[in-house]
């Protein structure tokens, strides 16, 4: 990452901006929580709770590659507090959708992160 394209924003402020913006990019009824990663200042922890009877919790690690691009990694999927098999078709589809929504949120926040 070149010096001129690094994020120029406090991690806590960035997490708060994500917390405000991500609910606008995910599916209606889903809920999102965004927190700073205490171990890495360029990383956010994103939890998305899917709506409906499935009620899955998806935990993602979101790392800024540069001021515009993020890399999101699925950490865990839980249902009723228990880890579930992430390889099922429904979960893979949801992971794909949420990954896209995470990238849309990063794009929406580019005006803030590329100050």
What would the pLDDT profile of 29-53 be if each residue is shown by its tens digit? 999 999 999 999 889 999 999 987 7
Joined tokens for residue 48: 């998305």
Joined tokens for residue 56: 């899955």
N residues, the chain? 115
Closest to 31 measured CA to CA, from 23, 42, 20 = 23
Q: Which CATH class is domain 3-113?
A: alpha beta
Q: What mean pLDDT value characterizes the chain?
A: 90
Q: Tell me the CA distances in angstroms from 112 to 8, 47, 72, one per residue in order.
A: 8, 22, 19
When pLDDT is cut at 50, 70 and 90, the band that residue 68 belongs to is: confident
H or E segment to which residue 46 belongs: strand 43-49
When pLDDT is cut at 50, 70 and 90, the band that residue 2 belongs to is: very low
**Is pLDDT at 6 greater than 80 in this prediction?**
no
Per-residue pLDDT at 15: 97
pTM, two decimals, is: 0.90
110 and 5 Cβ atoms separated by less than 8 Å: no
Helices (H), 8-69: 11-25
The domain ranges of the chain are 3-113
- The whole-angstrom separation of Cα 90 and Cα 45 is 22
26 and 58 Cβ atoms separated by less than 8 Å: no
Per-residue pLDDT at 115: 62
- The whole-angstrom separation of Cα 49 and Cα 55 is 6
Per-residue pLDDT at 76: 95
């Amino acid at each position: 990452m070149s010096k001129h394209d690094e994020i120029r924003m406090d991690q806590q402020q960035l997490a708060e901006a994500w917390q405000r913006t991500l609910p606008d990019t995910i599916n209606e009824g889903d809920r999102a929580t965004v927190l700073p990663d205490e171990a890495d200042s360029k990383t956010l922890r994103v939890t998305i709770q899917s709506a409906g009877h499935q009620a899955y919790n998806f935990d993602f690690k979101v790392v800024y590659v540069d001021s515009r691009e993020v890399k999101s990694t699925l950490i865990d999927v839980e249902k009723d507090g228990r880890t579930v098999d992430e390889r099922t078709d429904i979960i893979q589809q949801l992971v794909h959708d949420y990954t896209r929504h995470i990238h849309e949120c990063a794009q929406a926040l580019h005006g803030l992160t590329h100050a």
